[in-house]
Amino acid sequence: MTTNYTFSNKEQFQQYQSAFRAFSRDKNVSAQEHILYNFIRNKDLKRGFTPITNSKKLGVGTNYRRSEWATFDTMLADLKNTIHGRKHIKEWFERYGSKLADARPPLCMKYQDVISEEMWDSIYTSLCEVTK
């Protein structure tokens, strides 16, 4: 996995990295954004995440019994869905979400100055290939 598919030059990557770090300092990043950051940096997607080890959570009748990585897997699927459906998500947010006091802008809008539509398409394609 390489980062060449996303950024055409080092300055674009540094611009993305600066934006991510600024959001991170403000404690305004989601698990999806951490996975995306790992992916773009060509790191293990699970870097910074830990599996569920609590035996009660892994017990019968819980969402985690299938996998101790169930939460991570859910966030990865959400990231893919968010990138794939970004047009509709953006339209919804512009129409309804921006009127809500506690609404957070969707991923595609947070990084719209850094990641172009073509880059989002490339990220989605590569992310789907890597996580088959």
53-85 pLDDT per residue, tens: 776 666 655 555 567 788 899 899 999 999 999
Please report whether residue 83 resides in a domain: yes
Domain assignment of residue 2, yes or no: no
Flag whether 5 is in a domain. no
Domain count, the chain: 1
Residue 49: exposure state from Cβ atoms within 10 A (0-12, 13-18, ≥19): middle
**4 located within any domain:** no
3 belongs to a structural domain: no
Is 1 part of a structural domain of the chain? Answer: no
Range of the domain at 37: 10-130
> pLDDT tens digits, residue range 5-47?
567 788 989 999 999 999 999 988 999 999 999 999 999 999 9
Q: What is the pTM of this model?
A: 0.83
